[in-house]
Each structure stands twice: as C-alpha cells, then as structure tokens.
Structure 1
Amino acid sequence: MRVAAIADIHGNIDALEAVLADIAGEKPDLIVNLGDCLSGPLAARATADRLMALDLPTVRGNHDRALIDRPAEKMGSWERPAFAEISEPHLDWIRSLPMTLVLEGEIYMCHATPENDNVMWMEELLDTGRFSLRSRARMEAIATGIDQSLILCGHSHVARSVMLTDGRLIVNPGSVGCPAFLDDEPFDHRLETGAPFASYALIEKTEAGWQPTFRQLRYDPRRMAALATERGYDDWARAVSTGWV
C-alpha cells in the first residue's frame, strides 16, 4: 500500500495543484488530507471547490474549526479573508469533517493530536519563540490508545517522521501551501522551513514496515504572493515566496 498525505494547504491553490500533479504521477493507492485547508489570504474558494470535488478522506484542522465555531467578527486574521470568500456549502463541508479518522484498520489520522487540534505532536514551542523536537516519552503519551501502525498528523508545517519504541511511525508531511508563519499566541513566535516548496509525503508499507518519502516541489508562488500583498499580508507574501518570514 502507498499513501500520499497532504496537510496545511491554507488556501494555496497553486501549491495544491503542483502537489496533486506530482501525486498523479506516483499513483498511490490512497490520498489523505490532514486539515487546515482554507485559512489565509490566498485562494480559499478555489481550494475549497477543488478539495470538495476530490472527496479525499479529510480531518478537520484548528483553522478549519475556526471558520465554523465563532462569529465572523471574532475570527482571527487567518480566517477573516478566507471566510469572506467561501459560501455555506463550503462551511457545511468543513462541518462534516471529523477530528480523527482510521483507514484500512492501520492508518490513524488527525490534524495535530487526537485530543487537541492546536497542539503540535512532534514539536514543542520554547520560550525563545522557536520550536524543538518534543521528547519521545511525551509523543508516546499522546499516542496512548492508538493501535494503528501508521499515525499521520500535520499542524506544525514541518516534514518529519518519528518512530515510537513499539515501532509505530508518526509522519507529518509538511505544509502544502504555507512554508513559514508568524503567530502571537501564547507569545510571539515563528516557524520557518527556509524554502518556498510545496510539501507532501508518500508513505509505503514494505516488509520492513512503513517507509516515508518526503516530497518538496518547486512551483511558481508569485500569484499567491501577489494575492497576499494585495490583501495586506506581507508576511504571507514572504512566506510563500521564500519559506522565511
């Protein structure tokens, strides 16, 4: 079995199309989407239309939830431009997304962690405003009760795999459309991948176990950067253009 995992598209339709074209050439058995599909100042409507037509197994991310669990006037800066673009059918699609999914009896999917869609599974935020690899003991505690051999999550935008002591593998495919970001909660911090690539992962079940391959694709980000700049999101323009903020 070969699984293509995508995550954290954040309305970047051009990055998504690049990833989907590459996946088509790889011919996996399954494509899954780990959430945070639309939020940001890019192309939420076009991204929603594309994803709804694909009908992939998809879990809801924290930024997906933020489009449906509060009134528009209380939405954050990532949600406001996306919410202005999308329609009620798009919101109904988001409402239909589960927080977790189990596929084929051996693949577990969530956006961030099973219990909290806003906590990174494999990274922790330091008081320096940067991120570090979380301890394996803490990662294993989060995985308590999950029997599946492959655990897929997103949220951090960092492509990474960690093998737990019992052989279960956690894979984050990285972000399709947002390779860097700034945030001010719980305090000012940033995450930067350092390259403007559209990322996803192919994970193959072999005789030895699950084997991930991380794909980082060049695409032309200029249209998305121009949209971000036009809407007053210079940090997003820098992020999609460079992988830095």
Structure 2
Amino acid sequence: MISDIHGNVAALNAVLADAATRHVEQIVNLGDICSGGLFPRETADRLMPLGFPTIRGNHERQMTEQAPECMGLSDCYAAETMRPSQLAWLAALPATLLLFDDVLLVHGTPDSDLSYFLETVTEGGIRPATRTEVAQRVGSVEASVILCGHTHLQREITLEDGRLIVNPGSVGLPAYDDDRPFPHLAESGSPHARYAVLSSEGSSWVVEFLSVRYDCEQAVCDAEANGRKDWSNPLRTGTV
C-alpha cells in the first residue's frame, strides 16, 4: 500500500521498483497523490496507466473543488501544472473504497479526509492515539482491515475486536508541520520513501513497514527550483 506521494515521482519510482522485487500482488493508493512542489503531472502520468485501486486525499478534494485563491501553495502549483485530463482523474476518485468486502481504504478516517486516525494532536503536540481513541474513530465500520494515510507516519494498531488499522507512511514527503487543531510536527526522522506490505497468514494479517532509499538530494534541488525551500529539510532529513 502506498500513500501521500505528493508529486515526488522519484520516490514513487523507487517504491514501485522495490515492490516489484517483493512480488506484491496488489498495490493500493491512499491519496494525496500529486499536490506539492515537485512533479505533479509526471506523477499522474506514472500512475494513471497502472490502474491501482485509488482513493482521493484531502489535497485531491481541495485541488478539484476549491477556487484557486483558496488553495495553498502545494495545491495551487499542482492544479496549475496538471493537464485537464489528469485533474479529471483526480476529481473522479472516491473518498473511500471497499476491497474484497473486508478491506476499507480511507485517507484520514472513514468520516473525514482531514482527521488523524492513529495519531492524536493536543496542545503538547502529536502523539500515538490510544486504542480507545482509534475505536471511536472506526465507528460502525465493519471491515476487518482499514488502510489509512494522511499523517505520513508508519503505524499499525489492532483493536480488541481484532480489527486492524494500518498507515503505510508517506512515499514522497517524510515530514511536515501543521497548525490544526494545534501546532504540531509529523516527522519520520529520515528521508526515505515509505510504504507497507500487508499479507495474510492463515486467519491473521501481517504488516511489513518498508523504507526505500532514493536520490533525495535531487528532490531537494527540484523542490527549491520550484520555489519550495520549505520542503528542503523535510526531504533531506525527514524532520521539519
């Protein structure tokens, strides 16, 4: 499973190459695909022919539903750069998707593409969510596996009833800062491209979190050339 590529096509290519060596049967894409200061058009060109089960993230929604003057820098750059056919592809993506009647794809939580699933933000910053908090966010969803993204942090949690929630981390942006609902930093701590592999062993699921090296220094140069020096440290170090 992949998520939060954010237009980093070099990181995406590294992840797809690594997944090919592991004989992954199905790749799913959990959103926030093209928005950013790197290569939104090239990222869409790479993914669209592959036909992966794909949902939209908050950035796809913002890019295709908001007026340009309401967009942030990342969404505005992508919206201005991408071709109409690519924007139409993003606009048509579903908010959630149920696979195999038992695996649900969401970006944030089942109810919101902006809410954190496996993390909680307080005035003191970001922390791992408790099982009680996660169970409340699952709500009435009956799927035994829920795959989510949005926070860019690799994490899994199994609830008392056996339901598994997994975040594969971010392919293309290993750190960011936000001020909602309180100022906080989400940092993976290294520049690697991240994804995860989910496999079944009998009646149980096994999650393997993976980190893949790629030319992050070139990505830094590309971001800076596109006016995004704020991406330099996150891409280079995985910290803000």
TM range, smaller chain: over 0.9
User: Match of 1:100?
Assistant: 96
Aligned residue among 24, 27, 31 for 1:31: 27
- The one-letter amino acid paired with 1:121 is F
What's the secondary structure of 2:63's corresponding residue? coil
Task: Write out per-residue CA displacement over residues 102-139 of structure 1, whole angstroms, 9 at most, x where no aligned residue.
Answer: 111121110010111000101011213x2111221121
Provide the identity percentage: 42
What's the secondary structure of 2:208's corresponding residue? strand
Any gaps of 5 or more consecutive residues in structure 1? none
The TM-score with structure 2 as length reference comes to: 0.96
User: Match of 2:79?
Assistant: 83
The answer (yes or no) to whether the contact 2:56–2:93 under 8 Å persists in 1 is yes
The answer (yes or no) to whether the contact 1:181–1:235 under 8 Å persists in 2 is no
User: Match of 2:126?
Assistant: 131
Per the TM alignment, residue 231 of structure 1 is displaced from its structure 2 partner at its CA by 2.4
User: Match of 1:162?
Assistant: 157
- The one-letter amino acid paired with 1:218 is R
- The one-letter amino acid paired with 1:173 is P
* 2:52 aligned with 1:56: yes
Per the TM alignment, residue 208 of structure 1 is displaced from its structure 2 partner at its CA by 4.5
Aligned residue among 105, 110, 122 for 2:118: 122
User: Match of 2:12?
Assistant: 16
Q: For residues 27 and 164 of structure 1, what CA distance do their matches in structure 2 show?
A: 29
User: Match of 2:36?
Assistant: 40
Per the TM alignment, residue 222 of structure 1 is displaced from its structure 2 partner at its CA by 1.9
User: Match of 1:70?
Assistant: 66
What's the secondary structure of 1:68's corresponding residue? helix
The answer (yes or no) to whether the contact 2:122–2:182 under 8 Å persists in 1 is no
What's the secondary structure of 1:238's corresponding residue? helix
Deviates more, 1:28-37 or 1:176-185: 176-185
- Kindly report which structure 2 residues correspond to 1:85-234, keeping only aligned pairs within 5 A, or say none: 85-128=81-124, 130-234=125-229
- Structure 1 residues 92 and 179, CA, compared in 2 at 3 Å: closer, same or farther? same
- Aligned positions, number: 240
The answer (yes or no) to whether the contact 2:123–2:183 under 8 Å persists in 1 is no
The answer (yes or no) to whether the contact 1:8–1:174 under 8 Å persists in 2 is yes
Q: For residues 143 and 179 of structure 2, what CA distance do their matches in structure 1 show?
A: 35
Q: For residues 233 and 79 of structure 2, what CA distance do their matches in structure 1 show?
A: 22
The answer (yes or no) to whether the contact 2:121–2:181 under 8 Å persists in 1 is no
Q: For residues 86 and 174 of structure 1, what CA distance do their matches in structure 2 show?
A: 25
Per the TM alignment, residue 187 of structure 1 is displaced from its structure 2 partner at its CA by 4.3
Per the TM alignment, residue 229 of structure 1 is displaced from its structure 2 partner at its CA by 1.1
Runs of 4+ in 1 over 3 A off after TM superposition: 184-188
- The one-letter amino acid paired with 1:183 is D
Any gaps of 5 or more consecutive residues in structure 2? none
The TM-score with structure 1 as length reference comes to: 0.94
Task: Write out per-residue CA displacement over residues 24-44 of structure 1, whole angstroms, 9 at most, x where no aligned residue.
Answer: 111122110000001110110
